[in-house]
């Protein structure tokens, strides 16, 4: 025969007549989102400064206009009568040139005679004529071409005289009238009118 023995139950704690504390169920922790990191407002960067590119206008090339001879040194046949006279008696052409270049201070005849004397004594009339070519160039700001005045007259005396004669003629001088004749012709073209004088008061 089997004997079942009950194990002794643990004794309940004695409350000594006190009401046991109520068993409160712990509420689950509330659901909440984690705090967001603080946000700082950063203004947008300023726009880049406007750069205005001003292009300088291209440089203007200014070329000074140098006066030139109206005819070339070897254009002798542009004035055939003068070419013939200069070939036969160059002193006449020189006298006409010198009188106008010197503005009438010496007549054509005296200039032509001095040229002829120098040509007869030295054979180098260019020593005198080259001086007047320089005066003519300075008067009208003409270039020394094709070389300096002395070389032009030494190598091409007759051609140089013809060129200087044509230059003065192309600038309005009548070479046969001389300086005084050209001055009188110019003055005749200017009409001077005397101012009118009002008469006395009419009553």
pLDDT band at 21, cuts 50/70/90? low
Residue 24 has pLDDT above 70, yes or no: no
Residue 164 resides in a domain: yes
Residue 2 resides in a domain: no
Residue 129 has pLDDT above 60, yes or no: yes
> What percentage of the chain reaches a pLDDT higher than 70?
68
- Residue 153 burial by CB count (10 A; 0-12/13-18/19+): exposed, middle or buried? buried
CA distance 114 to 95: 9
Residue 179 has pLDDT above 70, yes or no: yes
How many domains is the chain partitioned into structurally? 1
pLDDT band at 57, cuts 50/70/90? confident
DSSP string covering 71-111, please? S-TT-GGGSHHHHHHHHH-HHHHHHHHHHHHTTTSS-HHHH
Distances (CA, A) of 194 to 25, 112, 186: 139, 42, 19
201: left (phi over 0), alpha (psi -120 to 50) or beta: beta
Q: What is the pLDDT of residue 199?
A: 44
Q: Name the more confident of 104 and 20.
A: 104
CA distance 176 to 96: 7
Residue 97 resides in a domain: yes
CA distance 76 to 158: 9
Q: What is the pLDDT of residue 49?
A: 76
74 phi and psi, to 5 degrees? -105, 20
Residue 89 has pLDDT above 80, yes or no: yes
Query: Mean pLDDT across the stretch 64-86?
Result: 90
Residue 102's closest CA among 132, 72, 126? 132
Residue 101 resides in a domain: yes
Residue 191 has pLDDT above 50, yes or no: no
Structure tokens at 69: 């001879």
* DSSP label of 193: -
- Residue 151 burial by CB count (10 A; 0-12/13-18/19+): exposed, middle or buried? middle
pLDDT band at 13, cuts 50/70/90? low
Domain encompassing residue 108: 80-184
Residue 42 resides in a domain: no
Residue 73 resides in a domain: no
Residue 177 resides in a domain: yes
Residue 64 resides in a domain: no
121 phi and psi, to 5 degrees? -80, -40
Q: Are 98 and 108 within 8 A, CB to CB?
A: yes
């Amino acid at each position: 025969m089997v004997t079942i023995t009950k194990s002794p139950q643990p004794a309940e704690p004695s409350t000594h007549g006190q009401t046991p504390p109520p068993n409160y169920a712990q509420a689950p922790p509330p659901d909440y989102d984690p705090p967001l990191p603080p946000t700082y407002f950063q203004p947008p960067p300023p726009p880049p400064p406007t750069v205005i590119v001003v292009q300088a206008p291209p440089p203007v090339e200014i070329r000074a206009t140098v006066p030139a001879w109206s005819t070339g040194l070897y254009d002798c046949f542009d004035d055939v009568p003068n070419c013939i006279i200069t070939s036969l008696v160059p002193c006449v052409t020189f006298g006409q040139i010198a009188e106008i270049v010197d503005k009438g201070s010496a007549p054509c005849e005296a200039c032509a005679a001095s040229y002829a004397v120098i040509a007869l004594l030295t054979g180098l009339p260019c020593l005198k004529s080259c001086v007047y070519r320089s005066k003519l160039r300075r008067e009208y700001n003409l270039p020394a071409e094709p070389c300096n005045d002395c070389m032009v007259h030494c190598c091409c005396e007759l051609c140089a005289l013809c060129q200087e004669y044509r230059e003065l003629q192309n600038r309005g001088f009548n070479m046969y009238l001389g300086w005084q004749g050209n001055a009188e012709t110019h003055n005749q073209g200017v009409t001077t009118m005397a101012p009118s004088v009002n008469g006395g008061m009419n009553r």
